[in-house]
Amino acid sequence: MYSISLAIEDQLEYEKLADWITEEFKNHCTLVNEGSNHLEIHIAVIEVRKWHDWVKIHRFRKRNKECIIVPLLDPTLLYTSPLALEFKLRYLLVKSVKKHLFLRTLKRAIRELENVSTRFLEKEEFYNQVHSEHIVDRNTLPFQEAFLRRLMSGDVQTEEELIQSRFFLPGEAIPNVVCFLQGFVRGPVKREQDGWHPPKMIQEVFRNRFQGYQLSFLSYRKHLLMLIQVPSEYISLKNWKEGENRILDAIQVLEKDYGIYLYIGVGSLYREPLMLHRSYQEASKARRTSPYERLSLRYFEEISKDLQLQKCTDYIARYCNEDLSIKRVAGQINLSVPYFSKIFKQETGRNFVEYVTFVRMQRAVWLLRHTNHTIEWIAEELGFNTPNYFSGTFKKYVGLSPRDYRATEEIIFV
C-alpha cells in the first residue's frame, strides 16, 4: 500500500484530485496528510502557486528523501519549471491538469516505486556524495540564480520575499552593485585548440581575485552580470579602491594570458536590495557610454546627469557619421562654443573631438562585427579621410586594428 499526499491550498482542487485518486487507486493507495509524521509518504503532489512554494518543495525533499515529488504548477509560474530539473524531479504537472494526465503520472510514479533499480540508487548515492563536498548545497543554487534573476528584472517587490530567500543565500549574500561585462577573444582558433571556455575562465579569474568576498554571476547570451557586495564603509565600487584594483588586475590577466578583452560597465551601489535592478540598468548604460578615464571600466556615476548635455550626447550618437562641428552641437542647446566646450569637458572627461571619435569607434565596432562591409567602406561611412587614419584611430581606442578585431570571437555567455 502506497501513501499519497496532496499539498493543495484550493479546497475544490484538492477534493477533485482526491476523488480521482480514491476512485482509481482505492485498493493499493491511501491519501495521507503531510503532517502525519508517523507515516511514510511515497508520493507527494505539491501545488506551486507562488515562487516561494519551490522553497517548500526543497524543504520537503530534504525531509523525505525517498518520496517522489510531483509539482502542480500554476501556469503563470511556468518560467520557474527549470527548477524541477535542477531538483531532479521527474514529473511536473500544470494546472488545470486533465484527469487522464494526472492519473497517468501517478501510475508511472507507482511503477517506479515498484521497480526501483539498484543501479539508479547507486547513481543517486554517488551524485549526492560528490556534491555534498561542495561548500554551497547545490540544491540551493537554482534558487540563488532564480532569485537573483528576479531581483535584476525588478520582479522581487516585497521585503517578505527577501526574508524568505535568505534561506538560500549564505550569510549576508545579497549583492549591492552590478557590473555588466562584454568582450571578445583574440585568437579563437588557438582557444579552441587549447580547450578552454571564455565564460568559465572569466568567472574563475574574478573569483580568484575576490576570494573572501561575496561574488555572484548571472549569464545572459551576450553579456555577463557580476554582482558584488561592496563593504558597508564605501559609497560606491569606484570609491572602494581595493575592489577596483582587483577588477583591473583581472582584466589585465585575462587579456595577457588568454587574449580575452573585457569591457565593463558598473552601476550605482544600492543598500536596498529591492532597488538593485536599477544598478543593472545603469551598468548596461555605463558599458555603452564614453569612458571618463579608461575604456575597460566605466562607471554610471561618471555619466553626466545634466539633461541639456544628455540632449547633446544623444544628438552626437544619432549623427555621428556626419560632419559634426562643435558649433552645430552647441547650437542644439543654444550655448556659445567656448562655454559649451568647457562644460562638455568637465562633464564627460573628454573634449568634443575625442568624444565624437569614441562614438564613431563604437559604431565601427558594431559594423565590423555584424556586417561584411570593407574597412574602406566603414572608414568612409564614419567620415574618415583615409582607411589608414581610421585604422590608426581604431587601434588607439580598441587596442587592435580593424582587421585584427574582425578576426576575434565575440564572447557568448550562454
248 occurs within a structural domain: yes
Segment 207-226 mean pLDDT: 93
Segment 361-365 mean pLDDT: 92
Q: What percent of the chain has pLDDT over 90?
A: 50
Domain-ending residue, one of 260, 280, 303? 303
For residue 194, the domain's CATH number is: 3.30.70.270
Same domain, 7 and 117: yes
For residue 100, the domain's CATH number is: 3.40.50.2300
How confident is residue 84, by pLDDT bands cut at 50, 70 and 90? confident
Domain-ending residue, one of 131, 163, 188? 131
Same domain, 414 and 336: yes
276 occurs within a structural domain: yes
Residue 133 has pLDDT above 70, yes or no: no
Q: Which domain holds residue 229?
A: 172-303
Same domain, 316 and 377: yes
- What is the distance between the alpha carbons of residues 170 and 147, in angstroms, rounded to a whole number? 13
pLDDT of residue 85: 67
Pairing mode of beta strands 68-73, 43-48 = parallel
Same domain, 322 and 284: no
- What is the distance between the alpha carbons of residues 26 and 5, in angstroms, rounded to a whole number? 14
149 occurs within a structural domain: no
How confident is residue 38, by pLDDT bands cut at 50, 70 and 90? low
Q: What percent of the chain has pLDDT over 70?
A: 88
| Burial letters 47-72, b for 16+ CB under 10 A, else e | bbeebebbbebbebbeebeebbbbbb
Same domain, 349 and 413: yes
Same domain, 252 and 363: no
Q: What's the 3-state SS for 5-65?
A: EEECCCHHHHHHHHHHHHHHHCCCEEEECCCCCCCCCCEEEEEECCCCHHHHHHHHHHHCC
Segment 252-264 mean pLDDT: 94
For residue 358, the domain's CATH number is: 1.10.10.60
Residue 18 has pLDDT above 80, yes or no: yes
pLDDT of residue 120: 42
- What is the distance between the alpha carbons of residues 398 and 369, in angstroms, rounded to a whole number? 13
Same domain, 254 and 336: no
Who's near 407: CB < 8 A, 6+ residues apart? Answer: 186
158 occurs within a structural domain: no
Same domain, 286 and 321: no
Domain-ending residue, one of 303, 323, 356? 303
User: Dihedral of CA 309/313/318/319: which sign?
Assistant: positive
Q: 294-303: per-residue pLDDT in tens?
A: 889 999 998 8
Residue 293 has pLDDT above 90, yes or no: no
Segment 145-149 mean pLDDT: 83
When the pLDDT of each residue in the chain is averaged and rounded to a whole number, the result is 85
Same domain, 31 and 123: yes
Residue that wins the pLDDT comparison between 324 and 90: 324
Number of compact structural domains in the chain = 3
pTM comes to 0.68
How confident is residue 173, by pLDDT bands cut at 50, 70 and 90? low
Q: DSSP character for 239?
A: T
Residue 73 phi, psi (nearest 5): -95, 135
232 occurs within a structural domain: yes
